[in-house]
Structure 1
Amino acid sequence: MSTSRKLIIEKFIIAVNDPKLPDLDSVLENDVQKTLNSKIVYNNIQEAQEYYIKELDGESTSQWTIVECEPEDPNSNTLRARISHNNKTADTVYTFSPADKIQRIDVIN
């Protein structure tokens, strides 16, 4: 684990919080594993940008934030964090690939 998984999640959230999304393509390219032919929210960087721009539209004051993050376990490929957005908090599990890229994001509640 060369880069902290918490840091990877923080970079992702910082990129999503910027309405112009200048760094989202870089974060997705470097820190998110691409998955093809599956039922996911987006399949490529352009679709991801469109998705997050739509989510941010009209809610520029609402930011995604990490409320709490469990300590990293080097023997596990997941990291659990509580993420807050628009007055809602969700327990979220990030699954990482062997290359330490975000492979999947699951909301528990």
Structure 2
Amino acid sequence: MSDSYKKTVEQFTEIINARHVNHLDKVLEENVEKSENSKVIYKNIEEAREYYSMEHEAHPSENFLLTQFGEEDQDNHRLTAILSYNKHDYATTYTFSPLGKIQKINSILQEQH
């Protein structure tokens, strides 16, 4: 399953970087939740679309970059990765639904460049 989890996260990143927020339903569950440094950023797919649209407006030349994949926890349907965005690196944990879509994203700021 790790390959499919990695592919899903890569596809998610590609959709965001291509500014195709209307295609997020291909990789995100309807009730997806993202938190960053323990603060909830969005709670569903519509809020996710709004969030990434605002990020693109605020930082039009920035892209999300997956710099490293970590270990997958198959028992808990999780994959970790390091994500770089806007001169910040985030340790990110993706939790997947039984359908293989991303249901929860938890990011913690690791360092600034």
Aligned-CA RMSD value: 2.4
Q: How does 1:1-109 map to 2 (within 5 A)?
A: 1=1, 4-19=4-19, 21=20, 24-26=21-23, 28-35=24-31, 41-45=42-46, 47-109=47-109
1:18 deviates by 2.1
Q: Which amino acid aligns with 2:91?
A: D
Larger strand fraction of residues:
2
When normalised by structure 1's length, the TM-score is 0.77
Q: Which has the higher contact order (CA 8 A, sep 6+)?
A: 2
Unaligned runs of 5+ in 1: none
Q: Give unpaired runs (5+ residues) of structure 2.
A: 33-39
After superposition, what is the alpha-carbon deviation per residue over 1:39-76, rounded to whole angstroms, capped at 9, x for unaligned? 6614333x332221111114222110001002445334
Distance 2:60 2:54 in 1: 11
Q: Distance in 2 between matches of 1:58 and 1:108?
A: 20
Distance, in Å, in 2 between the alignment partners of 1:69 and 1:2 is 10
Aligned residues: 102
SS in 2 for 1:25: helix
Distance 1:66 1:2, change over 3 A: closer
Contact 2:29 2:97 in 1 (8 A): yes
Displaced runs of 4 or more, over 2 A? 42-45, 47-50, 71-76
Aligned-pair identity in percent equals 32
SS in 2 for 1:16: helix
CA contact (8 A) 2:25 2:45 kept: no
Q: TM-score of the superposition, structure 2-length normalised? A: 0.75
